[in-house]
């Protein structure tokens, strides 16, 4: 599963743009991942300009 570090995240939407599952919801100051749709492909983790996303077993 993917975890968002809200202190690092700038809500820029780059991860949302590469998400192949369209499972990331972005607001002006929140980013949430729909875990039942997410396949943990980790594209969002790889693309983040500031390492605000992490993949973890769970």
Task: Give the interface with other proteins as residue ranges (CB under 8 A).
Answer: 10, 12-14, 16-20, 22, 24-28, 43, 46-51
Q: Which residues contact residue 38 at a Cβ distance below 8 angstroms, ignoring those fewer than 6 apart? A: 1, 2, 21, 23
Residue 28 Cβ vs other proteins, minimum distance, rounded to whole Å: 5
Q: Which is nearer to other proteins, 1 or 17 (CB)?
A: 17
Q: By C-alpha distance, which of 50, 42, 40, 36 is closest to 5?
A: 50
Q: Please say which residue, 12 or 55, places its beta carbon nearer to other proteins.
A: 12
Q: What is the closest distance, in whole angstroms, from the C-beta atom of residue 21 to other proteins in the complex?
A: 8
Length of the chain counted residue by residue: 58
């Amino acid at each position: 599963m993917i975890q968002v570090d809200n202190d690092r995240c700038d809500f820029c939407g780059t991860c949302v743009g590469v998400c192949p599952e369209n499972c990331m919801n972005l607001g002006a100051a929140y980013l949430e991942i729909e875990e039942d749709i997410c396949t943990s492909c980790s594209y969002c983790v790889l693309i983040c300009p500031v390492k605000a996303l992490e993949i973890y077993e769970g």
